[in-house]
Structure 1
Amino acid sequence: MADDLSRRRNTGGFEMHRLYRYKDFTIEVNAESIDGIPGGKVLSIPVGYVAVVHISCGESSTTIQGLSFGQSDGRPFASEAEALMRGYGAAQSIIDGMTIGSALGSMR
């Protein structure tokens, strides 16, 4: 499923796409390339990658607005794999914060 979705959504680039399940959430992570050589007839070579993350709850198709992540100093990640893993880790932290926040809210 993820491979078919990747081909449909990531046209003409070096992007990778993964779907993960975490707790009762679906995490969609795309590693999108940052081009080093602008357009034209020259093949652009990526200088790095950013993670674009979408989080949805359960089976709902409604997602939180897409979030983009790079390294903490603002630079892109060196590889697609690093972008995917860091994006997934960031999504886990967001979900943990949401679930802790809702648990604390229900205690009041």
Structure 2
Amino acid sequence: MKRTYQYRGHTLHVSVETVCHTRKGVAALDHVALLLISSDETMPYASLRIDRVAGRPFASEAEALMGGYGVGRSIVDKLIDNGERVMATIAHSAI
């Protein structure tokens, strides 16, 4: 499962990888979100593998997809907000 989202001038590519393994002799599936973040002006600059959010593994492909999207949005928000603070500090010190 793959999705592409636009968020605050960035592109979030989220895909889901499903891994089969055994737990205590029973087959189980784990879902992992693969996140690639890029800006409209640059090549991709972040690539992450997310296997859990809030300390729990993803129970389904849909949950992994939305978890990856949520983490991507959080990263973009922090990048933009930090950049705006730095620019405000530079502008204030120039006065």
Task: Give the TM-score normalised by structure 1.
Answer: 0.70
Secondary structure in structure 2 of the residue aligned to 1:66: strand
Asked whether the 8 Å contact 2:6–2:12 carries over to 1, the reply is yes
Does residue 102 (structure 1) correspond to residue 51 (structure 2)? The answer is: no
Measure the CA separation in 2 of the matches of 1:100 and 1:70: 26
Equivalence for 2:59: 78
2:13 maps to 1:28: yes
Q: Identify, as 1 or 2, the structure richer in strand.
A: 2
Q: By how many angstroms is 1:65 displaced?
A: 3.3
* Aligned alpha-carbon RMSD (Å): 1.7
Structure 1 counterpart of 2:65, one-letter code:
L
Structure 2: runs of 5+ lacking an equivalent: 90-95
Which of the residues 32, 46, 53 maps onto 1:50?
A: 32
One-letter amino acid of the counterpart of residue 82, structure 1: E
State how many pairs are aligned. 84
User: Cα deviation per residue 1:43-77 (whole Å; 9 max; x = unaligned)?
Assistant: xx7612011100000153x112310112232x531
**Structure with the greater alpha carbon radius of gyration:** 2
Q: Give, in whole Å, the separation in 1 of the partners of 2:85 and 2:46.
A: 24
